[in-house]
Amino acid sequence: MAKQENQDDQEYKARAAALRLLARREHSRLELSLKLRQRRFENGLIEEVLDEYEEQGWLDDHRFADVYARQRMDLGYGPLRILGELQQRGVHHTPECLDAMTDEDWCAVAIRLRERRFGLSDLEDDWDTKVRQARFLNRRGFSASQVERALEARELPEG
């Protein structure tokens, strides 16, 4: 009898922990699984809880990917970085909000980021500055062509 009570107690604790984590923010299935493992719950129990929460609609990798991608886009990250971070979190599909962005849109994001961070001065004669800005944009997850376009952008003359 004590073993059954202990099992029920562990199940309750796993469900409660998962629900608390989901109440704070969206999680991918992989993230939630790892966090529950850190709390020393058994793999079988974790999978059972996560399956149930997916059925209930409380855990959804597609919703997580969309929310996560939008947040990262708002912070000025590019498509390569966002997709890489999603893959690290166990999401292996492209969210709709990223699919909706064209290359032109990403170039505009890169240009705005460069302008906010460095200004849009002419970099033709300043190789060191150009390389530093290119590395920054590259780390942020923009493609080589998007970085190149952002580096070519100039401030509009006032007139």
pTM score, whole prediction: 0.86
115 shares its domain with 140: yes
Q: What is the CATH number of the domain that holds 36?
A: 1.10.10
Q: Other CB atoms closer than 10 Å to residue 119's CB: what's the count?
A: 9
At 125, give phi and psi (nearest 5°): -100, 5
43 shares its domain with 67: no
40 shares its domain with 55: yes
Name the domain count of the chain. 3
Residues spanned by the domain of 48: 2-59
Q: Mark out the alpha helices in the chain (DSSP H runs).
A: 2-24, 29-38, 43-56, 61-74, 79-88, 96-99, 103-118, 127-139, 144-152
In order along its 159 residues, the chain shows pLDDT tens digits of 445 555 678 899 999 999 999 999 999 999 999 999 999 999 999 999 999 999 999 999 999 999 999 999 999 999 999 999 999 999 999 999 999 999 999 999 999 999 999 999 888 889 999 999 999 999 999 999 999 999 998 875 554
18 shares its domain with 48: yes
